Amino acid sequence: MATGADIIDKACKKLLSGIPKLSDPLKELLPNIQSVTEGDSTEEEREDVARVLAIGFFTTQAARCLPLIAETMKALAKLPPATPPSAKIQRKWLEDINKKLRALQSKTFPELEVNVSTFYTVPEPASKISALASIVAKLPTLIADFVVMEVNLLKIKKALRK
């Protein structure tokens, strides 16, 4: 029978392998989409944005959040309802990851998908640029959130080492 520490460790491993699947495409996309939005992009950058930022991209990203949310719930279930400040593993770290993943899955990624759809379906150039600019505005914060998630997961992994 797996111990609570084993379950938390396994959940953290799955989260550490799953989060890059969410963050890496965004990191790859950011420089090129900024160039396209600013109007000084190369053909290669525009093609890269079109390749990555296809309709359904953010819907897929939202779906990738679901198993990660399940893993945070498994880990949270093995922690006490409140952890003292001196605890090596802070419940708030996993609660924060869970909250951010849920927001990505239910709000942020669907909103970004609407912007992608607008970019591809609306004929006016101003609307297209506005849709891309809206995506560009959110990407740095999302990438920073993923970094914080990974740092907190690494703290948990370190605390679980015996």
For the stretch 48-65, pLDDT in tens is 888 888 999 999 999 999
Q: What is the mean pLDDT of residues 4-13?
A: 94
Report, as an integer, the average pLDDT of 6-28.
Answer: 95
Q: Using an 8 Å Cβ cutoff, are 142 and 111 in contact?
A: no
39 has a pLDDT exceeding 80: no
CA distance 73 to 71: 5
Report, in this order, helix, strand and coil percent for the chain, each rounded to 5: 80, 0, 20
Return the pLDDT at 43.
86
The residue type at 148: V
Long-range contacts of 89-92 (CB under 8 A, 24+ apart): 89/8, 89/155, 89/156, 89/159, 89/160
Answer whether 97's CB lies under 8 Å from 152's CB: yes
- Going by C-alpha positions, the residue among 91, 90, 63 that lies closest to residue 77 is 91
| Dist. CA 54–CA 66, nearest whole Å | 21
- pLDDT of 17 above 80: yes
For residue 42, name the pLDDT band (cuts at 50, 70, 90). Answer: confident
Q: What's the pLDDT tens digit per position in 88-120?
A: 999 999 999 999 999 999 999 999 999 999 989
Question: Which residues have CB under 8 Å from 52's CB, separation 6+?
Answer: 25, 28, 29
Q: How far apart are CA 146 and CA 33, in angstroms?
A: 19
Every domain of the chain and the residues it spans? 4-160
Phi-psi sector, 39: left (phi>0), alpha (psi -120 to 50), beta? left
**Mean of the per-residue pLDDT values of the chain:** 92
Question: pLDDT band for position 41 (50/70/90)?
Answer: confident
Calculate mean pLDDT across residues 114-134.
Answer: 91
